[in-house]
Structure 1
């Protein structure tokens, strides 16, 4: 059954569609690649269009404001990732709770239940391109969300074999646990990507690049395969009856969801710290920090240095290595954006320099600015400056040695 027919049937005739779904055999990779991902892209792309192209008109001042392209891309990726991870994590919750309500544990059925039940909510996400609808938009979302829960309710006894008298508490507890998990996911994504609503506002021009799109689909397929493997490990751990093994498998499963697409073990933080010189021009290094964190397969290594002088000229530098994970951050989408905007107070540019995606922003008042670029598809170098010009910021950025980072591009790469 194709995507359009399945989406129509599960939305309009869920009672008759759930038995059909229950009888199907679908791999995790195929389910995510052919159904979940295309639907999850609807609200994600609509968010980008609505916030960065259409914009929101502020009635008090009568001005239309828009997210900057980078912020819009960040919001789009955040929306997309949270949908994918949320659906997968919700299936784990449904399956884990099954014995408590007399249901049958079945990870494949739980994943199908989670993937298909929220189809209406993903479809209505297209309205995100119309942010000017305001409160009416959110009322529609709430109504559709309630209907999605009803579809979930109808599917619980069919796919999970839960007794009819326990369908309501099973559904309710699953939703509560899911809400808590989504809050955690949102916090994690926010920490990695940053708050997309906090950046400057501007217009956008985009150019599609088939190579990047193909690469993203490839990463998506890998993610689906890894999720399927994680599900099998979860089941093996549960059969062992060892609570610690179950907890470890669950943690690894979440890590897989967060870090799918990672191509390499991240470079040690101390090696990144060593790239920062003691001085940049007349600015002396005041602090030097490094950290490495991991959750399952998702790993990040980061180093930060601060420079300054007695005249309050300041530079903050960061180098971040995600091991080439394209499913996190703005790295994939960044290469699809070109922008050159200038106002009386400053400018913002996005594009490529020597084949590397770059973003620079400068405000004359202050002055202050930032210069960021992606090296070898895995190292993000960011330079933020206060009371300095852009030439100084770019000099600081280059001081870490781009060639040295390029030379590290194969470190930790999985064979």
Structure 2
């Protein structure tokens, strides 16, 4: 089953990382996990933007047209997929500096399962109030970082001390990657591909 590690990552993360390490899945399996889990924030964002509307504060509810929300969701889906794959490349390349020799599939597993709690935050869009989604997002981000720190020494087969520094480097690179994706979004919006709001 594609999502068979999902519960374990929440209930007993270190044991689950050992389980993932013992029976590495294929590249296609890891990619399928990302493809399915990425649908959660995408579908929820579409529904909340086009049908529920977002509450930013004391002002009016903000809604997008269905076509605009659909196009934004498509862009978000591919952005999430590419972001996780790029993070896997960074994990793979950084491994050389820490005397680790993972395959690209192992790096993709670490990136995919680490990103899972962050993508699950998409369920918070059922209540599309900015402060609520941001609080839940912070919880998801914190748990994703915890999973990265817990899983890096296990999947990369390196001591915990070295794994901590390795994971910290990955977090730093991930933040740079996030800034690049945000900058790309701003550029696309300025080219006329931004959201279209309902009247």
Q: Shorter-normalised TM-score: what interval?
A: 0.7 to 0.9
Aligned to 1:124: 121
Aligned with 1:100 (options 97, 102, 107): 97
Match of 1:181 in 2: 177
Are positions 1:80 and 2:77 aligned together?
yes
Q: Between Structure 1 and Structure 2, which shows a larger proportion of strand residues?
A: 1
| 1:53 Cα deviation from its structure 2 partner | 0.7
**Is this contact kept in 2: 1:52–1:68, CA < 8 A?**
yes
Alignment match of 1:154 (pick from 150, 153, 168): 150
Q: Which residue of 2 aligns with 1:113?
A: 110
The answer to whether 1:171 aligns with 2:171 is no
Cα distance, 1:95–1:59 mapped onto 2, change above 3 Å: closer
Bigger radius of gyration: 1
**Change in 2 beyond 3 A, CA 1:58/1:100:** closer
**Shift in alpha-carbon separation, 1:162–1:169, aligned structure 2, 3 A:** same
Give the TM-score normalised by structure 1.
Answer: 0.44
Q: TM-score, normalization: structure 2?
A: 0.88
**Separation of aligned partners in 2, 1:45 and 1:141:** 16
Where does residue 236 of structure 1 map in the other structure?
Answer: none
Task: Please report how far the alpha carbon of residue 167 of structure 1 lies from its aligned counterpart in structure 2 after TM superposition.
Answer: 1.7
Deviations 1:103-150 (A, max 9, x none): 224212111111111211111211123212x21321121122111111
Q: Give 1:169 deviation, angstroms.
A: 1.5
Asked which structure has the greater RCO (Cα within 8 Å, sep 6+), the reply is 2
Deviation of 1:26 after TM superposition, in Å, equals 2.6
State the aligned residue count.
Answer: 198
* Alignment match of 2:62 (pick from 65, 68, 75): 65
Q: Unaligned regions of 5+ residues in structure 1, if any? A: 203-415
Let me know the Cα RMSD of the aligned residues.
2.2
Listed one character per residue, the Cα deviations across residues 148-167 of structure 1 (whole Å, up to 9, x for unaligned) are 11111111111111222112
Q: Is residue 67–residue 197 contact of structure 1 (8 Å, CA) maintained in 2? A: no
Counterpart in the other structure of 1:27: 26
Give the conservation status (yes or no) of the 8 Å contact 1:52–1:67: yes
